[in-house]
């Protein structure tokens, strides 16, 4: 059976400050990646979020066999406007989930007044939450805050993007420990060192880790090669799960 690789962390933008979806397609072809989860690419002007979300939608419409759309929301836009953005992400664009980046947008991801009501909007629709998790915003995006959200919404699937590995010191081991106690947390190992990926596999098993490249902030074809080299030390079935099977199952995609 031919291996189907899905990249669970890629960014695109229409603003000229990053890559277009056409450029992303070229990178995917070079890397041998069949499908990619796509969300908007920082840096961006806060007022451009809706434009960028719509661009992700347009990418999915143009290449539905290759792109898996996720929305983005910034709680600093205000509660009602953010709720409206979330509604549009699902009712107009048909996205699988919404990403929250407390590092880029400067907020605590478990803020009870400005963020949790938005998380609830996603959860009540049965959609997926994605969080930037790392030490680059140590307090705002710490793994223990993701775990708090996971406990509050145990039926909601959560993607822990970077699994704590962005910034210094790495918080990957803490993220793995919280994931062990929260079965609704799944790790996306993008922009993460190989030792942290190895640690996650040996302590969580193959079912909770998804390949991600963080394109264009990293080189997709290099990240694919890195994962393939590391996964040689594990059973072949583990590679299939990590490189595409897990994210396919989380999203409910057809095999």
CB 46 within 8 A of CB 19: no
Three-state secondary-structure class, residue 172:
helix
Provide the mean pLDDT of the chain. 96
Q: Grade residue 27 by pLDDT with cuts at 50, 70 and 90.
A: very high
Three-state secondary-structure class, residue 168:
coil
- Give dist(CA 162, CA 200) in Å, integer: 12
pLDDT of residue 255 exceeding 70: no
Q: pLDDT above 90 covers what percent of the chain?
A: 93
- Give dist(CA 148, CA 247) in Å, integer: 22
Across-strand partners of 188? 161, 210
pTM of the predicted model over 0.85? yes
Q: Grade residue 148 by pLDDT with cuts at 50, 70 and 90.
A: very high
Backbone angles phi, psi at 199, to 5 degrees: -60, -45
pLDDT, residue 2, reads 67
What 8-state DSSP symbol labels residue 159?
E
Tell me the residue ranges of DSSP E strands in 122-208.
128-134, 158-166, 185-188
Q: pLDDT above 70 covers what percent of the chain?
A: 98
The mean pLDDT of 38-43, rounded to a whole number, is 88
Cβ neighbours of residue 40 under 8 Å, at least 6 residues apart? 11, 12, 13, 49, 52, 53, 55, 56, 72
The mean pLDDT of 127-132, rounded to a whole number, is 98
What 8-state DSSP symbol labels residue 170?
-
Closest to 57 (Cα-Cα) out of 21, 27, 104, 87: 21
- Give dist(CA 241, CA 206) in Å, integer: 6
């Amino acid at each position: 059976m031919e291996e189907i690789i899905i990249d669970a962390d890629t960014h695109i933008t229409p603003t000229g400050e990053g890559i277009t979806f056409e450029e992303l397609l070229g990178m995917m072809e070079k890397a041998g990646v069949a499908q990619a989860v796509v969300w908007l690419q920082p840096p961006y002007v806060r007022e451009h979020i809706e434009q960028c979300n719509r661009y992700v939608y347009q990418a999915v419409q143009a290449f539905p066999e290759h792109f898996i759309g996720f929305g983005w929301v910034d709680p600093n836009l205000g509660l009602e406007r953010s709720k409206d953005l979330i509604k549009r992400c699902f009712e107009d664009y048909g996205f699988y989930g919404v990403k929250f980046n407390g590092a880029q947008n400067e907020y605590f991801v478990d803020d009870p007044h400005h963020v949790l009501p938005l998380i609830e909007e996603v959860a009540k629709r049965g959609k997926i939450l994605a969080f930037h998790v790392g030490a680059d915003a140590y307090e705002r995006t710490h793994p223990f805050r993701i775990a708090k959200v996971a406990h509050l919404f145990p039926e909601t699937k959560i993607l822990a993007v970077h699994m704590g590995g962005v910034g210094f010191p790495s918080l990957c081991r803490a993220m793995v420990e919280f994931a062990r106690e929260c079965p609704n947390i799944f790790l996306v190992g993008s922009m993460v060192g190989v030792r942290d990926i190895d640690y996650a596999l040996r302590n969580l098993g193959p079912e909770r880790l998804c390949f991600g490249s963080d394109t264009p902030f990293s080189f997709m074809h290099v990240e694919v090669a890195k994962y393939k080299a590391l996964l040689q030390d594990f059973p072949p079935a583990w590679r299939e799960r990590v490189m595409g099977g897990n994210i396919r199952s989380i999203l409910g995609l057809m095999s």
